[in-house]
Structure 1
């Protein structure tokens, strides 16, 4: 099985290790900075993933903390991986809107994606025409080159659904997203049919949350929870807003999102019922 390596995930793992080393050593940031003749802000940037510590910095920290050689070498390797370029980084900042680049880095190594979508079809399940209509509606509007590159980026993400070791996607989509006529009846009919086809993949679950469900958890608050193949990498919750996004890694916070997703799934139609619902909507258009 080919291992997927994301520098984003490796940097987060490296950062957690660096913080743990200092906590276990019982040292303050100023103590460590003084021992290494660093500034305190430099160490803080490494501990907060604002900058990736290189192999030399990891070796220096390991020496101060008395880290065993085997563990030290493991984190030196992480430092090298964290400085690699991710496949998505060939796209410019105009393509990777706001801090979505970090999300792509996380998703590229994730094993599972759990997504609740209230008004839009989840990106991993969007058709090219549906996505293009959304991009044309954005303000400020992007030029044709950026839109083409964003389309390609989305296709690269969606390709993971068909890998030998595919990404598992579990979605709950509110009925309002399915009835919103993005691009008109023809585009939406194609999109609904694509959801049906996607739902038949063994690694994809699509559940519709109908209007009849009434009051539901997280109403108006779409979110994603990412899980990773290595237990050392904790789940991450992700939520977007108009000009950026928020990531949650604190286990207590992530557990809230996990519980809400489970509750949403229990209120949604089953996979079989959802496919029937989607086919009916497509026929009505």
Structure 2
């Protein structure tokens, strides 16, 4: 393993695929390791992306698990690509869609810093709000947003729940998405979730004028393992993109800290959300 290995999002997706193969066959780490000739520790590190998964090891697992050849070949191709790009800037990744993978990272993260510019953050959206925002003509994106929401909801019951810090401009509260009934329900839900001890919601008021990262929404995810760097996620209606360069993710962290300074405090933000809901 490289001395200071840092798994990319692609390598982590590969690890989840390997774990999925084993789970489908109802094998323990020890049973699977014995069949393929790996220690259970090595297999665990591959599945959790604590070490890179070598293409030959993936081939061996595919053979032992009796995975269809095209399926394991696709994963081997991704591993080969990951091996090539780990130490340089990421380019176009074959057969890997960050927008489809994003909910998995939300499930694995410990801290989520979200800045939106025109919508309530995906983790807090009600289904009717999401449907209205997507205009019901983008079922794939709607389903992915639902997965993100469900990933956060499932983490609320964890012993180590996902911490969410969200910042957005007041305009998000005033944009009546889905009509007054849907929007009011969404704002009331936002008030409810903001009272969770692991959630902090802040609103940038109209009077703040220009503010950091204006017009550039992003999500910054932090993770518990040392081998997993922060990941920034950017999305348009065309595609999603991961940014994993530590220098760039640090810029996102700095922008977010500046946004929190400009925004109202949690209490004042809650009052503003309540005011917007009362007006509907």
- 1:163 is matched with which residue: 154, 157, 166? 157
Following superposition of structure 1 onto structure 2, how do residues 1-285 of structure 1 map, counting pairs within 5 Å?
17-18=1-2, 49=11, 52=14, 74-81=41-48, 99-138=98-137, 141-142=138-139, 153-164=147-158, 165-285=160-280
Tell me how large the CA RMSD over aligned residues is.
3.2
Shift of 1:136: 2.9
After superposition, the Cα gap between the structure-2 partners of 1:152 and 1:219, relative to the gap in structure 1 and judged at 3 Å, is closer
Shift of 1:101: 2.3
Q: Secondary structure at the match of 1:219?
A: coil
- Give the whole-Å Cα distance in 2 for the aligned partners of 1:154 and 1:51: 16
- Give the whole-Å Cα distance in 2 for the aligned partners of 1:245 and 1:18: 29
Shift of 1:150: 5.2
Whether contact under 8 Å (2:130, 2:142) holds in the other structure is no
1:76-126 CA distance string (max 9 Å, x none): 432245689xxxxxxxxxxxx953222122111100100001101001111
- Give the whole-Å Cα distance in 2 for the aligned partners of 1:156 and 1:121: 15
Whether contact under 8 Å (2:122, 2:145) holds in the other structure is no
Q: Which deviates more from structure 2 when the two are superposed, residues 128-137 or residues 275-284? A: 128-137
- Give the whole-Å Cα distance in 2 for the aligned partners of 1:180 and 1:158: 24
Structure 1 unmatched ranges of 5 or more: 1-16, 22-45, 56-71, 85-96
Q: What is the match of residue 61 of structure 1?
A: none
- With structure 1 as the length reference, what TM-score do the two structures score? 0.65
- Give the whole-Å Cα distance in 2 for the aligned partners of 1:79 and 1:50: 9
- With structure 2 as the length reference, what TM-score do the two structures score? 0.66
- Give the whole-Å Cα distance in 2 for the aligned partners of 1:251 and 1:154: 24
Shift of 1:226: 0.3
Q: Secondary structure at the match of 1:232?
A: coil
Shift of 1:231: 2.6
Q: What is the match of residue 74 of structure 2?
A: none
Shift of 1:241: 1.9
Whether contact under 8 Å (1:132, 1:147) holds in the other structure is no
After superposition, the Cα gap between the structure-2 partners of 1:121 and 1:78, relative to the gap in structure 1 and judged at 3 Å, is same
- Give the whole-Å Cα distance in 1 for the aligned partners of 2:100 and 2:144: 12
Structure 2 unmatched ranges of 5 or more: 19-38, 50-57, 62-95
- Give the whole-Å Cα distance in 2 for the aligned partners of 1:52 and 1:150: 19
